[in-house]
Amino acid sequence: MPFVLVAASLLAGGSDSSDDDAVITVGALVASSIFLWIFLVGVPTVATTRKGNGLVRDLGLRFRPVDAGAFVVGAALQAVVVPALYWPILELWDRNSDDVSSEARRLIDGASGAGIAVLVLVVCVGAPFAEELFYRGLALRATEKRFGTGVAVVATTVLFGVAHFQGLQLPALLLFGAVATVLTVRTGRLGPAMLCHAGFNAWSLFQLLVIDPS
């Protein structure tokens, strides 16, 4: 079973169930995501409109052609770095990769046909845009302005990880959060972080849908 960490956990507060074997439906995922995105997109939009100069100037909501390379970086993190990170963790905790990928597998089990297309849009387009706008946009810039870059990088990385309420997935969330934050600080744009996020999530779905669809 592949190491798949993001399809569910990067949608903080996605769908919950008291039954670990229950299937998460795409409809439930979309509904919960919309409510979450209203907050994640709405707060930065209102803040920069009322007290600033807009999302582009204040938060760096810009893309350049070179940012496409960040998509590959995100996919490589998920395909190569995450398995290496989790090998000692799973050995130490006597767990296996099924425990790590169970949430994402439940999402896939609840989708078919058009549902798969919707799932791809939610996980690879909507979530990267909304979450990066909030965490690497508003949260990072606000924290950096008050406490400096170093504190902002650490604080927003930790906030991103713990906000997803996924214990076993936390190391991968922190890893990705750190990379996305550094990309944003180095480039001054949200484009690289958003595309890195999309690549990270896209590889998760590729593994579940193509490499190991069982």
**CA distance linking residue 76 with residue 159, whole number of Å:** 23
For the record, the structure tokens of 177 come out as 């959060």
For residue 100, the enclosing domain spans 26-211
Region at 63 (left for phi over 0; alpha for psi -120 to 50; beta for the rest): beta
**Which tops the pLDDT comparison, 90 or 77?**
77
Number of domains in the chain: 1
| Alpha helical stretches, state H, 52-148 | 55-59, 69-76, 82-93, 97-109, 114-121, 127-132, 140-147
Question: Is 6 part of any domain?
Answer: no
Question: Is 5 part of any domain?
Answer: no
pLDDT at site 111: 67
Task: Give tens-digit pLDDT for 138-165.
Answer: 999 999 999 999 999 999 999 999 998 7
Question: Is 165 part of any domain?
Answer: yes
Confidence of residue 60 (pLDDT cuts 50, 70, 90): very high
Residue type for position 103: E
- For range 27-40, the mean pLDDT: 89
For the record, the structure tokens of 204 come out as 């998760």
E strand or H helix that includes residue 195: helix 191-206
Question: Is 89 part of any domain?
Answer: yes
- Work out the widest C-alpha separation in the chain, in whole angstroms: 51
Question: Is 185 part of any domain?
Answer: yes
Q: Is residue 189 exposed (0-12), middle (13-18) or buried (19+ Cβ within 10 Å)?
A: buried
For the record, the structure tokens of 29 come out as 């995922």
Question: Is 12 part of any domain?
Answer: no
Question: Is 2 part of any domain?
Answer: no
CA angle 154, 156, 159 (to 5 degrees): 110
188 phi/psi in degrees, rounded to 5:
75, 10
pLDDT above 50: residue 37: yes
Confidence of residue 24 (pLDDT cuts 50, 70, 90): low
- For range 95-111, the mean pLDDT: 67
Question: Is 201 part of any domain?
Answer: yes
Confidence of residue 6 (pLDDT cuts 50, 70, 90): very low
pLDDT at site 11: 39
